[in-house]
Amino acid sequence: MTNGIRHRGTTLAFALALLFALALSFGAARSEAQTYWTDEANDRISRAEDDVPEDTTPPDTVFDGTPNEFTNESTVYFDFHSTESGSYFECDFGDDDWAFCSSPVTIYQVTQGHYVFRVRSTDSAGNVDPTPATFEFEVDQFAPVTTIDSGPEGTIDTSEVTFAFSADESPVQFTCTMDGIVASDCSSPTTYTDLPEGEHEFEVYSTDKFGNISDPVTRDFTIESESTVPTKPGNSFTFGKLKLNKKKGTATIQVKVPGKGTVFLIGSKTVKPALKQSRGKSTVTLAVAAKGKAAKTLKKVGKVKLAVRVRFTPTGGDARVKTKSLTLLKPRK
């Protein structure tokens, strides 16, 4: 009896041990199947957890918008992005002092000089752009001075004239007009032929590579012979006082005309038009106001330089156009 009980107990213990060993073997095989993958020869190749690559690729930072390489603006803008979403940015404006920033960046009160702006991005894995986006630009806010070096003046008896002129800086682009009819790019010297008898006015101004425009300079002369008989009224006029309204960001300009006619401030993309009639020899006052991009610049920066063109058409005579450079001022809010 006792031996029978012991036999059954031994058999039960052996069975339990066998089941436990099989369970361990199955668990190990299952763990092995989950941890390793094999090739066709059933050879173990690698662990699954080693199959996830680490992000070590840095982002690239790209400019979307910059100022001109040569500019006269005192406020400049930079737009940029990273090739990896979720990146943050750092900016440096020439002093190697990196600071957190975001696009767009606006820099105010930029004075004359050479500048370097850099921006770099860092992705969510901590990789830093090793080659920051870099933009160099130069600011010049001083207009050139244009001078007529030679050319006729007073009364002459020839229909062909030549003018030589220069500027106090280089390079510049000159713009010439005879009697205000057509303004066009020109170079020194410039010759005009087959001019009719009567009063004439030559005008020239220069624009530097930064966009600064010089004040125009003029030279008046008259072509006539002994048989010349004036048949049309004169169209020569001059500019008088300029008065600025800094509160409104506008101005008024005086135009001195020799007789009856129409005085017209020619509208453009940057200047609003204005019209007045003269009843005789008088001084006419025209309102000057910026519009479009010039109005936006005035609002942001507090000043804007304009080239104002005024046309006087005497009653019964020919029109004449002159250009006047001026700067509107308005306090920034």
Residue 258 sits in the same domain as residue 323: yes
For the record, the structure tokens of 244 come out as: 């600025």
Q: Per residue in 54-68, pLDDT tens?
A: 889 999 999 999 999
Q: Does 244 reside within a domain?
A: yes
Is the pLDDT confidence value at 37 over 60? Answer: no
CATH number at residue 75: 2.60.40.10
Q: Does 40 reside within a domain?
A: no
Q: Per residue in 189-200, pLDDT tens?
A: 999 999 999 999
Is the pLDDT confidence value at 47 over 80? Answer: no
Mean pLDDT across 250-254: 93
Using DSSP bridges, classify how beta strands 217-223 and 154-156 pair: parallel, antiparallel or unpaired.
parallel
Mean pLDDT across 99-112: 95
More confident residue, 24 or 311: 311
Q: Kindly tell me the sign of the dihedral angle through the C-alpha atoms of 183, 188, 191, 196.
A: positive
Residue 225 sits in the same domain as residue 156: yes
Q: Are 208 and 171 in contact (CB under 8 A)?
A: yes
Mean pLDDT across 96-124: 95
Is the pLDDT confidence value at 49 over 80? Answer: no
Residue 135 sits in the same domain as residue 149: no
Please tell me the predicted confidence (pLDDT) of residue 123.
Answer: 95
Enumerate residues 6+ apart whose C-beta is below 8 A from 143. Answer: 208, 212, 213, 214, 215, 305, 325
- Average the pLDDT over each of 148-157, 228-237, 263-272, 320-329 and give the range with the smallest value: 228-237
Average pLDDT for the chain: 85
At 9, is the pLDDT very low, low, confident or very high (cuts 50, 70, 90)?
very low
CA distance 59 to 64: 16
Residue 227 sits in the same domain as residue 237: no
Q: Does 213 reside within a domain?
A: yes
Q: Are 287 and 146 in contact (CB under 8 A)?
A: no
CA distance 125 to 128: 9
The domain in which residue 164 lies consists of 142-231
Please tell me the predicted confidence (pLDDT) of residue 8.
Answer: 43
pTM: 0.55
Q: Does 54 reside within a domain?
A: no
Q: Per residue in 167-219, pLDDT tens?
A: 999 999 999 999 988 789 999 999 999 999 999 999 999 999 999 999 999 99
Last residue of a domain, one of 202, 231, 260: 231
At 33, is the pLDDT very low, low, confident or very high (cuts 50, 70, 90)?
very low
Number of domain units in the chain:
3
Phi, psi of 230 (to 5 degrees): -60, 130
Q: Does 8 reside within a domain?
A: no
